[in-house]
Amino acid sequence: MKFTTSFAATTFALALATGAQAENPMVGGAPMYETKNIVENAVNSADHTTLVAAVKAAELVETLQGPGPFTVFAPVNDAFTALPEGTVETLLKPENKPMLTKVLTAHVVAGDWSAADIMAKAKASSDGFYHFKAVSGDALSAQAKGNALYIYDENGNAGRVTIADVEQSNGVIHVVDSVLVPK
C-alpha cells in the first residue's frame, strides 16, 4: 500500500507539472517552454522574426539570455510593418544601433510581472494607470480595459497585450500588437 500511495502521489505531481507546462501558450505557431530563456523561445515564433532580427542587430541576445528576470512586451511582425515606411530598415543599420537599442529596451521591464499583477496595479491607482520604467529609462504606463491590458509608450501610443503570461526561464513575455516608441 505504501508503494501505491507513493506511486499515486508521484503520478499526481507529474500530472500537475505536465499541466503547468502545457498551459504556456503557443506564440507564432511555436510552443513556448518555461525551461527556455526569452531568446531561445522567441527565435521559434513566426510572429517575431523582425523582433529577433532587431535584437541580434542591437547585440542584445546575450543580455536577454541572462538571468533576469525580465518582463518583455514583444511586438509582433505586423507591429513593425505598421511603422512608417523605412523605419525598420533605418533602425537596423549599424550606425543606428544606439537608437535601436533604446527602442528595444523600451519594451523590457526589470522583474517578472504577470498580466494580472500589472492590471491590479493599474486598477488600484487613482488615475487608472500603472506607471513604471522600462530598462531604457523611458516611461511606460499600463491600463486595464475590461479584461484587456494596454501598454502605453511616452508618446501615448498603446499596444494591446494579445498573448499574456508566456513564462520563460528568465522572466515573462507579453505579446503586444504595437511597437512602443520612446521619445
User: Does the domain spanning 2-176 belong to CATH 2.30.180.10?
Assistant: yes
HEC sequence for the chain: CHHHHHHHHHHHHHHHHHHHHHCCCCECCECCCCCCCHHHHHCCCHHHHHHHHHHHHCCCHHHHCCCCCEEEEEECHHHHHCCCCCHHHHHCCHHHHHHHHHHHHCCEEECCCCHHHHHHHHHHCCCCEEEEECCCCCEEEEEEECCEEEEECCCCCEEEEEEEEEEECCEEEEEECCCCCCC
**What global pTM score does this model have?**
0.85
Q: Give pLDDT < 50 ranges for the chain.
A: 1-22
pLDDT tens digits along 72-101: 999 999 999 999 999 999 999 999 999 999
Q: Where are the domains of the chain?
A: 2-176
What's the whole-number average pLDDT of the chain? 87
